[in-house]
Amino acid sequence: MSFLQANGCLSCQHGISSEMLLPHLVAVIVEETEIVGDCVWLLARARTDSAACPRCGYSSGKVHSTYRRRLADAAIGGRRVRIRLGVRRFFCGNPDCPAVTFAEQVDGLTSRRSRRTPPLARTLTSVALALAGRAGARLAAALDLTAGRSSLLRLVIAQPDPGTGTVTILGVDDFAMREFTAAQADDLYELLTERVGRPGRSLILTSNRSPSDWYPLFPNAVVGESILDRVLNASHHLLLDGKSYRPRRRPGQHKPGPAVPRPP
């Protein structure tokens, strides 16, 4: 059964076209659409007669061969959508280009080795970032989107790391617990040089040792002296004298009281 009871080219009809309903298909011509079971199949091809080589940018219209490429798209009306896209492989006419042939890519629809359209990729990425693997796969199935937990986790991994911005307060716990290596001492020196005495770049160090015991922990006495001079003479000192709070959190320390009888 054809989509919207249309047998001709949907992209050539007047009124509501497939490009208005599916704006990411504006760069292709949808030649045929049909419903098979619970899936909508679109047969499409690129509108342009040429394509640019991805290596050198040379535009070529000389076709080497053609093949079909299948893409998964976002669901429509509770039905999965698949696109059969006719792809052309062109000769690159630039004699200086190392690529002899190249496959065309449709702007806004395809990318190299991609099996999903941008709308579907964005939807699945949002699901994966919110729910991760198993739960995300269950929600995707309820939304008629085919994606396994491993695919969703790969989408999360592929996302760029968010920027950390400016760290206004940096805390270092258990400082000077053991001896520093030369590389660790150099890194600590760079860190203190960047933060100590600069507004908006506070540094908090906590230690169970007295500052006088820190000096022998540095392999280079000169570097150790420079580090501790910056720490001790450009900071506020706060001494906490008392027992550790951790024994109070030991399991089994607080026994439940006797049950209070209920009133009759």
Predicted local distance difference test score (pLDDT) of residue 50: 92
Domains identified in the chain, total number: 3
Q: Outline where DSSP puts E strands in the chain.
A: 28-36, 39-46, 51-52, 59-60, 63-76, 79-91, 101-103, 169-172, 202-205
Same domain (yes/no): 93, 187: no
Instruction: Band the pLDDT of 70: cuts 50, 70, 90.
Output: very high
Q: Is residue 216 part of a domain?
A: yes
Q: Is residue 142 part of a domain?
A: yes
pLDDT of 5 strictly over 50? no
Same domain (yes/no): 83, 9: yes
Same domain (yes/no): 69, 28: yes
Range of the domain at 209: 169-237
Q: Is residue 246 part of a domain?
A: no
What mean pLDDT is reported for the chain? 84
Same domain (yes/no): 52, 138: no
**End of a domain among 98, 129, 159?**
159
Same domain (yes/no): 69, 155: no
Same domain (yes/no): 155, 70: no
Q: CA-to-CA distance for 131 and 157, rounded, in angstroms? A: 14
pLDDT of 6 strictly over 90? no
Q: Of 116 and 250, which is predicted with more confidence? A: 116
pLDDT of 13 strictly over 80? no
Average pLDDT (232-252) is 78
Note whether 205 and 244 are within 8 A (CB).
no
Give the best-scoring range by mean pLDDT among 70-74, 160-164, 246-250.
Answer: 70-74
Q: CA dihedral defined by 175, 181, 184, 185, rounded to 10 degrees?
A: 80
Q: Is residue 243 part of a domain?
A: no
Q: Is residue 130 part of a domain?
A: yes
Same domain (yes/no): 102, 196: no
Same domain (yes/no): 101, 124: no
Q: Is residue 256 part of a domain?
A: no
Q: Is residue 74 part of a domain?
A: yes
Strands 101-103, 39-46: pairing is unpaired
Q: Is residue 247 part of a domain?
A: no
Same domain (yes/no): 77, 135: no
Instruction: Band the pLDDT of 256: cuts 50, 70, 90.
Output: low
Same domain (yes/no): 124, 102: no
pLDDT of 134 strictly over 60? yes
Predicted local distance difference test score (pLDDT) of residue 64: 93
Instruction: Band the pLDDT of 1: cuts 50, 70, 90.
Output: very low
Same domain (yes/no): 101, 123: no
Instruction: Band the pLDDT of 88: cuts 50, 70, 90.
Output: very high
Predicted local distance difference test score (pLDDT) of residue 241: 81
